[in-house]
Amino acid sequence: MSSNPSPDVTTAFLFPGQGGFDGEALRRAKERHPQIGRVFERLDAVTEELYGSRVSEVLFGERKADLRDLLDNDPWASQVAIYGAGLAAYEILAAQGVAPDVLAGHSLGEITALVAAGAFSVEDGVRIVARRVAVIERQGGVDGRMVALAASAERTRKLLELVDEPLLAVATENHDEQTVVSGPAGILDRVVAIAGQLDVGAIEIDTPFPFHTPALAPAAPEFAAYVRKLDQRPLNRPVYSPILQRYYEPGDALADLLAEHFTRPVRFAAAVRHLRETGAEVFVEAGGRAALSKLVAKVTDGSAVRSLPTLALTGGRLALDGTLDALREAGLAAPERGGLAELLAPSVPADVFAAYWSERGHMVLELVRTELDAFRKSTEGRGAEPEPEPELRAAAAVGPEPAAAVEPEPAAEAAPAPAPEAPAAPASSARPEGYGRDQLFGELRTLYAEALEYPEDVFEDEVQLEAELGVDSVKQVELLSRVSSRYGLPPRESGFRLATYNTMGKITDFVLQQLNDQGAHTPASATG
């Protein structure tokens, strides 16, 4: 997918930077949304390697760590927590079927946005965040501060001219009445004193270091050199940069651009105005504290824009609950009952479907994206018109209306129709004497072993695919789709239950029965 936005930009996800973490909100959300645990498990592996400590234990242990506590005791954890909370919120929203048209980040949040769009792995994202901290520490950045002034960017620059210090800088332009200044701690004390004389309010930003200041220029080359060693992948969604004031492009060297963040300001207000002008009507803050959603409301005051927080507490309640309700009402998220649930699993209780979708919906979406992409490529090969990109995104979002080429079946229990790139075998290939079970078992074992990269000998007749081998239901659906394509099986009946066929032996017996019922087709493909 190109990183350029589509003409219709309706929904924007925003990822917060410094100060964007609410520990209590994250803990509450973790109790109901397993995506949070899964994201932080991936972060744990890296933080244990880098710091000898699991960030999950810091954030979810007996001591309830808030942002101030993290800054005082575990500065590295404050940065990883902001990054991880943003990714976790993104995964929760994606599992609910919300498909943003564009992603954008505020300072540190721009790294989160790029990882969410697939530019780097989740683990490499942690390494980037950690190296960002490390190179600043080596430059003595720990002595710096950031202060938010209740003034426009123009007035703030005039104030800084009075101090005449080259290491002072406007770090972020949040809205017309708030600008953040970054620089050495002692000099910022003078700025705050002058601001007080001019009746300009000043608030300290919760951050371990100053960011977006010329003082960090010496740290940028080391940071860029490190990021260049990491695998950079194509973006799967558009990402708009408030620092660059443009979308990231396919040819961009992200290592160099991320290094520029050290010294360039964040023009957040201008970015919000640009996204609004191009059609964005819903801004969802994927992360903590509701800071960005409040800024959006100020920047877009008077326009018909919805600004929604997620991992924040509002009135003692988790903002995520109300945001998901609002997105469902707007048709931007899967409804709790009816719509998606009614199409995919009409006989499944609402609470069961909601729990399934919360835990595994992201895998269903990824499978749909993969198969639609394969289908598009196969139709292009046959000379058919390729699937338009907006329709691909709509199908991947699994909105209220299913894609026309996809037959709706129960998501947790029924395998999808045979994949188009492997057509069913013709009837003339039937074997009149039927298909031997041992031969079929051996072929299926090879197919499953190759797909899952397991040794063939683990696929014994009675082995439990999920309980013993960890093959989740979505992967089982995908494998049954391959089996259906290979052996030319008919679509499964509506009463088919995946849970009934939970061992290799049961799958073999099912396929064998299907083959013998229709005259024992030979495989349509030698490779599956």
* pLDDT at residue 520 in the model: 46
351, two tokens: 């609470």
Residue 408 has pLDDT above 60, yes or no: no
Which pLDDT band holds residue 143 (cuts at 50, 70, 90)?
confident
Higher-scoring residue by pLDDT: 233, 436: 233
* pLDDT at residue 337 in the model: 44
pLDDT, tens digit, 9 for 90 and up, residues 328-346:
888 898 765 444 565 677 6
* pLDDT at residue 489 in the model: 80
Q: What is the mean pLDDT of residues 407-431?
A: 36
pLDDT, tens digit, 9 for 90 and up, residues 104-133:
999 999 999 999 999 999 999 999 999 998
Q: Which DSSP category does 318 fall into? A: E
pLDDT, tens digit, 9 for 90 and up, residues 20-43:
999 999 999 999 999 999 999 999
Q: How many CB atoms lie within 10 A of CB 34?
A: 16
Residue 310 has pLDDT above 90, yes or no: yes
Residue 241 has pLDDT above 70, yes or no: yes
> Sign of the CA dihedral 105, 106, 110, 116?
negative
CATH architecture observed for domain 11-138+211-329:
3-Layer(aba) Sandwich (3.40)
Contact 421, 374 (CB under 8 A): yes
pLDDT, tens digit, 9 for 90 and up, residues 440-475:
998 998 888 888 877 888 888 888 887 777 776 667
427-517 has which fold? Answer: 1.10.1200
For the chain, what are the domain ranges? 11-138+211-329, 340-396, 427-517
- Coarse DSSP helix, strand, coil percentages of the chain, rounded to the nearest 5 percent: 50, 10, 40
Report the candidate in 472, 480, 449, 286 with the shortest Cα–Cα distance to residue 363: 472
DSSP β-ladder status, 11-15 and 239-241: unpaired
* pLDDT winner (highest mean) among 161-170, 273-282, 360-369, 404-413: 273-282
